[in-house]
Structure 1
Amino acid sequence: MKYILLIPLVMFGLISTSCINDDFTDSSSATLAFSTDTVSFGTVFTDLGTPTARLKVFNRNKKGVRISSIRFKDSATPFSLNVDGVSGTSFGDVEIRGGDSIFVFIESFIPETSAVEPWRVADQLEFVTNGVTQEVEVEAWAQNVTRLKGERITADTRLTPKLPYLVFDSLTVDKDATLTIDPGVRMLFHDGASLIVHGRLEAVGEVGNMIHLRGDRIDNVLPDVGYEVLSGQWGGVVIAPESFGNRIEYVEMQSSSTGLRVDSCGDLSRQKLTLVNSWLHNSSGSVFESRYSKTDAYGCCFSESPLAVVSLTGGEHEFVQCTIANNYLFTAVTEANLSLYHCLPSDDADNRNSLMKANFENCIVWGIGKAINEGKLDGSDVYLKNVLLRADGTDDGHFVECIWNEDPLFLTIRNDYYFNYHLQPDSPAIGRGNPSYVNAACLYDMDGVARLPEPTSLPTLGAYAGVSSGEGVDH
């Protein structure tokens, strides 16, 4: 009986295995297909190595093929291979069954040179199948960098835009030293690295030549989507309690863990920080946090955080022509986009620091989550004037000529990973500002567009004075 039962099982096994086509073709017409014709690493840093790129190789034929050779054309290539989990410089007799595929993984290490400008490095990856050679282009743009590892600035120092700066660990500005960052400087921070200022920071860019602070991953996380969409790639900027007189103008800072943080421990006798025409965005903590400090912001855009985009505790603040927006991608937003603390008499139980004084003028506060954490500001010294808010409400002594719950119509398309806080032509924020609030610091926006082109002009609310269709705009 046992053997009788085994007979149908053996028969079934033979039938099942006969469905697998182990035949291989030697026809020259049985060529391969590839997931792309060019594997591009984009810009890579010398002496550092690249992330791994993936190429998928398909056999769309009914029969199997044997690839007799996989190798780079240049024997001195800077690129290296891994075929289906095996590393090497060349491979032979690689089999792909009919209708199946394999993965080829590619990495690169490019030595440092004396070049200032990026240069193209390329090779052809050859596949020879049944005497037919097919090629896939592999390229990278190599960039030399100035490496700063655990660096301390102990005397006045200037960073110039000759080469990007790659910061490992942290860059610390000691007390009594000033770090000056010139227009066009790119500072790239490795995972966990931060800029910590005990002395003074003077980061002043120009229209069309901004200073950039971001993580050091400059490849793509998705096709056509750069790593800058991912927050938490580096630490952030910390301006310590003993640091005063800091200035940040025409700076783009993105993809940090803690954003820009300042604390003066209640010393309001000196200006802590002035921010002008800058875009701070995409932080896994608050984008900008100020505690008991005297900080002002003019023409700035703050955006993308799961916490408060702007968090202010006590202190003195003036925010004019600013956009505070939130379209954070990866987790729920848990705090109001503009969060104000120690501003109401009920907040002052400890009586250690004076209550907040703040004016928000010609601004926009809009996005996922609540607009502001305080629904009533009675008894405070906090005023929102000509501010567009994502909230239902009415004007009172602290909310003056505000626009309630009217979509400002940003160009941002969150689901397409496109973040652009310029306004569409029919935005309700256009011409709704008070011209008397436009001071010398924000006469022009970060694109160089005049807020008051005519004596009778009414300014547009928010960071951007110009109206855009989106074409040619990078933000």
Structure 2
Amino acid sequence: MRYTFLILIVLISCLTSCRKDFETVASNGRLEFSRDTVYLDTVFTNISSSTYTLKVYNKSNDDIQIPSIALEKGDNSKYRMMVDGMTGRDGKGTFFENVEILANDSLYVFIEATAGIEEANPTDFLYTDKILFDSGSRQQDVDLVTLIQDAYFIYPKRTPNTEGGYTYEGLSLSDNDPKITAYLLDENDPKNGNELHFNNTKPYVIYGFPTVPSNKTLIIDAGARVHFHDQSGLIVANNASIHVNGAPSMTAALENEIIFEGDRLEPEFSEVPGQWFAVILTDGSTNNRFKNLTIKNATVGLFIQNNDGTNVEIENTQIYNSTVAGILARTGKINGKNIVINKAGQYALACTLGGNYTFTHCTFANYWSGGPRSTPSVLLDNTFSDGETLFIAPLEKATFTNSIIYGTNSIEIGLKKNDAAAFNFDISYSLIRFSDTNNQFTDAIYDFVKNPTSKNNIVSNFRTPNEPKFKNPQKNNLKILSTSSVIGKGNPDLIIPFDVDNVFRTSPPDLGAYQHLNE
């Protein structure tokens, strides 16, 4: 032990004798930067950006001191900086004095922006500034550039309370539901005008749960973009309706597609699941239509609860990256054509507590990569349990034709039948992923996959892969290649003339929502 202690003393002495006193010299104007311009990705007006990083290098052999690091617009700038953990003079993040960098070392500058459309250049909507390092002949600079996008902001009204904060308007969906930040859309809103008619002149950004009032219809024009803030959604109330009127697009800009997604516009958020909650069609909503719509990055894309005697018409609709389900229905009534769903934490499609469903030329796939998944891509269930009570309702009809039910699991169709209520379904002219290697599913209800030719189905299992040959399912590209096993296997009597991309279908048609690619 004594010798170990002596060795430590010697080492410490050596290290101390070699140590510099860190005396600094003035900056020589030869700093180097990780980039000449920091582009902060597009943000909505007055919404804070993500934090971006600039690295500053001192590649000299001297410890240096930078007299000042400042934003050119000073305290009026809409940018904020943090330099190596410091917030600068007065904590404003706009001016820093006597910043040191050791020889052959570096420091980090973190940058954010919160700017309004009125502060941007009116010709290109860019808001700009510069970071100035030092002054005079030794001054160096880095440009800052942010694109500001104007939008309609829809949020609950608030009133000041006696405690100095605000009370937000809210409502309960029923007598048994807790009050949430839900509020009625206003036909005569002082800022947004008619909130029951979303146009395509600029995007809509939604906070909380705006609700379509009873006996009213929310109309959304082709080309509209709707962005939902964290944990927000859209509610269609009893006797209310929503008409999503998208149309086929002619270019890659999807100029006529309607898109629902989160409000983070940075590229790294473009495919992140669970950024907002859901579009909710509540008990008794009526005459709902969705056409040429893309829903991305929700918890549940469409949550359909016991809509009235009318069908929810869903056509040419794509739903991606849902943490729970693409479509979750409870006693729903859906007529679906050219639907594409992929990447859901549990189900691409869950038809629970019975209902009445017709799906034609649909692709229900699940290539979820966010963790293990034990649930099938498609679930048919005539029950629902809230944890204490089991509810049962008849599955009047669930018809799948000319469709694909597929994914990364061995079994991608789940049937949960309670004999106390009807359980009627029919799957024909479809490709189904069903590899029952242990022969667990022997009930006659599975005859559509055990004896697939009786229903003109194609089964993908261990012995007969029968792959759909999606182009790139991990990137939500479920177009089928020319080597797919589903080409020309559909029922021509039930053909939908154009696919989800408005491409003319040949007859007999391919299965799924897409006409195959010639590649």
Superposed pair shares fold, TM > 0.5: yes
Contact 1:67/1:129, CA 8 A, preserved across alignment? no
Determine if the alignment matches structure 1 residue 264 to structure 2 residue 310: no
Determine if the alignment matches structure 1 residue 94 to structure 2 residue 148: no
181, 196, 200: which one aligns with 1:161: 200
457, 460, 476: which one aligns with 1:401: 457
Contact 1:286/1:306, CA 8 A, preserved across alignment? yes
Deviation at 1:214, TM superposition (A): 1.0
Question: How far does the alpha carbon of each residue in 1:169-203 deviate from its partner, in whole angstroms, 9 at most, with x for none?
Answer: 11101111111011111111111111000100001
Q: Tell me the equivalent position of 2:160.
A: none
Unmatched runs of 5 consecutive residues or more in structure 2: 88-92, 157-182, 188-193, 250-255, 384-389, 436-448
Report the identity percentage.
27
CA distance in 2, matches of 1:274, 1:336: 24
Change in Cα spacing, 1:97 to 1:131, as seen in structure 2 (3 Å) is: farther
479, 493, 501: which one aligns with 1:422: 479
CA RMSD of the aligned region, Å? 3.3
CA distance in 1, matches of 2:454, 2:423: 8
* Secondary structure in 1 matching 2:274: coil
* Secondary structure in 2 matching 1:241: coil
Q: Tell me the equivalent position of 1:122.
A: 128
CA distance in 2, matches of 1:44, 1:196: 26
Deviation at 1:128, TM superposition (A): 4.2
266, 276, 289: which one aligns with 2:328: 289
Determine if the alignment matches structure 1 residue 103 to structure 2 residue 108: yes
* Secondary structure in 2 matching 1:422: strand
Contact 1:118/1:142, CA 8 A, preserved across alignment? no
Question: How far does the alpha carbon of each residue in 1:293-327 deviate from its partner, in whole angstroms, 9 at most, with x for none?
Answer: 22111011011111111001221111111111112
Q: Tell me the equivalent position of 2:57.
A: 58
CA distance in 2, matches of 1:244, 1:29: 68
Q: Tell me the equivalent position of 1:243.
A: 285
Contact 1:238/1:262, CA 8 A, preserved across alignment? yes
133, 139, 152: which one aligns with 2:184: 152
* Secondary structure in 2 matching 1:113: helix
Determine if the alignment matches structure 1 residue 211 to structure 2 residue 258: yes
For 1:396-475, list aligned pairs within 5 A: 396=452, 399-404=455-460, 405-412=465-472, 414=474, 418-438=475-495, 442-452=496-506, 457-467=507-517
Change in Cα spacing, 1:422 to 1:354, as seen in structure 2 (3 Å) is: same
TM-score, structure 2 normalization: 0.77
209, 228, 249: which one aligns with 1:189: 228
Change in Cα spacing, 1:38 to 1:330, as seen in structure 2 (3 Å) is: farther
Determine if the alignment matches structure 1 residue 321 to structure 2 residue 361: yes
CA distance in 2, matches of 1:117, 1:336: 51
Count of aligned residue pairs for this structure pair: 442
* Secondary structure in 2 matching 1:447: coil
Q: Tell me the equivalent position of 2:432.
A: 389
Deviation at 1:372, TM superposition (A): 0.6
* Secondary structure in 2 matching 1:126: strand
Change in Cα spacing, 1:73 to 1:335, as seen in structure 2 (3 Å) is: same
* Secondary structure in 1 matching 2:493: helix
Change in Cα spacing, 1:152 to 1:114, as seen in structure 2 (3 Å) is: farther
Q: Look up the equivalent residue of 2:149 and give its one-letter code.
A: Q
Unmatched runs of 5 consecutive residues or more in structure 1: 221-225, 344-349, 470-475
CA distance in 2, matches of 1:32, 1:114: 30
Change in Cα spacing, 1:406 to 1:64, as seen in structure 2 (3 Å) is: farther
Determine if the alignment matches structure 1 residue 331 to structure 2 residue 371: yes
Deviation at 1:71, TM superposition (A): 2.3
Q: Look up the equivalent residue of 1:127 and give its one-letter code.
A: F
Deviation at 1:110, TM superposition (A): 1.0
Change in Cα spacing, 1:100 to 1:380, as seen in structure 2 (3 Å) is: same
Deviation at 1:284, TM superposition (A): 1.2
Deviation at 1:120, TM superposition (A): 1.6
TM-score, structure 1 normalization: 0.83
Q: Tell me the equivalent position of 2:83.
A: 83
CA distance in 1, matches of 2:312, 2:230: 26
Contact 1:154/1:177, CA 8 A, preserved across alignment? no
Contact 2:116/2:148, CA 8 A, preserved across alignment? no
Change in Cα spacing, 1:135 to 1:368, as seen in structure 2 (3 Å) is: farther
Q: Tell me the equivalent position of 1:371.
A: 412
